[in-house]
Chain A
Amino acid sequence: KQEVTQIPAALSVPEGENLVLNCSFTDSAIYNLQWFRQDPGKGLTSLLLIQSSQREQTSGRLNASLDKSSGRSTLYIAASQPGDSATYLCAVSVSGAQKLVFGQGTRLTINP
């Protein structure tokens, strides 16, 4: 059974810092891995999707890496801004299955 864990559960940093969010998964047989952003009470916004054959993806100040063999992914946020405050969720799509398996998320607060 695939399990996804995100550490830390919450993170508070001052504006301008670079930061890393971590995601680990137990079964390396994944189809892809996705990072989402969720604002309070809202739906999910897809940030980055990494196919199982890829090592990383970049979008603006965001960079996500994937190491399937160790079951880990990181989301790097450069030059953080107060508008980056949200919950960040990692999800894996399991090969041969139809569902996304999510971690519990990291609640990020960027202090001005």
Chain B
Amino acid sequence: ETGVTQSPTHLIKTRGQQVTLRCSSQSGHNTVSWYQQALGQGPQFIFQYYREEENGRGNFPPRFSGLQFPNYSSELNVNALELDDSALYLCASSLGGQETQYFGPGTRLLVL
């Protein structure tokens, strides 16, 4: 059974640029959730995708968007990057929206 994987592991961007982060869900899981974790803080929910549809969204602006593909992998896109977007971005997969979520290793994004 393959666990949750994320790519890239690290990324450096400049303010105003756009970034795409990728997540492959655990085998058999149809739901992917994305979280942002700033340094020294707990993760904050960005949004969740269930069977290719957005299934809940946290308090993040529209420049944070996502996709889920037929194989249940997912992308997180962030436009017009700001310095405060620097964080660890975590993806988690589950079988259903309220079942146990299994987290990937994260992508660390630094915005300069």
Q: Chain A: residues with CB nearer than 8 A to chain B? A: 4, 31-32, 34, 36, 41-46, 49, 89, 91, 93, 97-105
Minimum Cβ distance to chain A for residue B10 (Å): 10
Q: Chain B: residues with CB nearer than 8 A to chain A? A: 33, 35, 40-45, 48, 50, 55-56, 58, 88, 90, 92, 97-98, 100-106, 108
* Contact call B42/A93, Cβ cutoff below 8 A: no
Q: How many A-B residue pairs have CB under 8 A?
A: 59
Minimum Cβ distance to chain A for residue B79 (Å): 22
Query: Which residue of chain B is the closest to A36 with respect to CB atoms?
Result: B103
- Residue of B44, B50, B98, B102 near A46 (CB, 8 A) is B102
* Contact call A98/B55, Cβ cutoff below 8 A: yes
Query: Which residue of chain A is the closest to B40 with respect to CB atoms?
Result: A104
